Amino acid sequence: MSDGVTADFSNPAPAYSYAALDIAGYLKRFAGSRVTTVNRILPRTTFQEMRMQHPTWQHVVNAVAALPLASRVTGSGGTSLETFVLLLDMFETLQQGRGLAEHQATLLAQLRHKIEVFGRLFEFYDATLHRRGSDLATAGTYAMLSIVSNMTYLSEGDPRAFNAATKANDIILHSGWQYEPIDTELVCFSVLLEDNVVQRILQPYVTYV
């Protein structure tokens, strides 16, 4: 992602307000700072390869498909390989611009509730940022909360879901927790997805150059 941001006036119909461009600029800087942070605390080659190999929405699908989840159940949130297969189906559906089927939307809501309750994210948000976690499953649980929340935002457009996703990533990136290898991959993926969501929000306002 480059640092330059330009207004996209190729379509003369929309009138770009200063407020919209200010918001777009903020989100662009926000996305860039997240990439800088994750590169600092996670294996750079892993994240950069996942991010740059497929610079479109397809790289999100490919990243999920490449996760070696068959060997274990991820974290205390109980997210299994089968769940990830279903999430992958949801990604492909959203990528094609179609709405989720009823059973997909139901699963997404159940996952979000289950992981959110387990993590008790909002009650302990401030305290968690200053706590050194000893539970190696914690990072994976919060990463799953971020992934599921961003999926909810893409499906329903609820800004509270995007807020939950960024809060979960904040906790992961600033907690100082130790990660198991599988959790490192989940954290990479959660930040990749957040990066894509930010770009999706920016699309009506700016062009990446």
Question: Average pLDDT for residues 126-133, to the nearest whole number?
Answer: 47
Question: Average pLDDT for residues 40-60, to the nearest whole number?
Answer: 50
pLDDT single digits (tens) 114-124: 666 555 554 55
Q: Which of 99-113, 119-133, 154-168, 186-200 has the highest mean pLDDT?
A: 154-168
Beta strands of the chain (E only): which ranges? 5-7, 206-208
- CB atoms near residue 179 (< 10 Å): 21
The β-bridge partners of 5 are: 208
Confidence at 76, pLDDT banded by 50, 70, 90: very low
Residue that the structure tokens 């935002």 belong to: 153
Q: Is the pLDDT of residue 161 over 60?
A: yes
Q: Is the pLDDT of residue 72 over 50?
A: no
Mean pLDDT of the chain: 61
pLDDT single digits (tens) 169-179: 887 777 666 66
Three-class DSSP category at 75: coil
**HSE-up of residue 188 (Cα within 13 Å, Cβ side):** 27
Pick the closest to residue 86 from 166, 147, 139, 142 (CA basis).
Answer: 147
Three-class DSSP category at 79: strand
The domain locations on the chain are 17-208
Three-class DSSP category at 74: strand
Structure confidence at residue 132 (pLDDT):
47
Element (H, E) at 89: helix 81-95
